[in-house]
Amino acid sequence: MNALTAMRQYKSVNTQVQAVDASPHRLIQMLMEGGLARLAQARGAMERGEVGKKGELIGQAISIVGGLREGLNLEQGGEIAANLDKLYEYMAVRLLEANLHNDLVPLEEVAVLLRNVKAGWDAIA
């Protein structure tokens, strides 16, 4: 992933934390952590019937997934990057469906997928 793209994306959705000194690897972790946090918050907003807040949080999660996707290097990343690209696209579509239908199932599905990707990323030392 392009470190500059990751840093811009992270800063656009989480302005409280300075990401300037983070390594490219850490920036991706921070994006994924932010995405998971937004999904959990969106779930809570959905359960409380806070439609506007839910939409805002899902929109932020979609933006984070888009940033992860945008930062992929499809030329150098080979099959792994291509598969992640498709997975991130799928996640964005499922999040749109969750928002549109006020449905927790796709929201939870994306959270599980993102946790799995993050676990793999975290395993890289």
Give the chain's domains with CATH numbers: 3-122 (1.20.120.340)
Chain position carrying tokens 């969106």: 42
Asked whether residue 15 carries a pLDDT value surpassing 60, the answer given is no
Q: For position 5, what pLDDT does the model report?
A: 60
Rounded to an integer, what distance in angstroms lies between the CA atom of residue 24 and that of residue 30? 10
- Residue 21 pLDDT class (50, 70, 90 cuts): confident
Rounded to an integer, what distance in angstroms lies between the CA atom of residue 18 and that of residue 63? 18
* 5-9, 14-18, 51-55: the lowest-pLDDT one: 14-18
Q: How does pLDDT run across 35-91, given as a tens digit for each residue?
A: 999 999 999 999 999 999 999 999 999 999 999 999 999 999 999 999 999 999 999
3, 27 Cβ separation under 8 angstroms? yes
Asked whether residue 18 carries a pLDDT value surpassing 80, the answer given is no
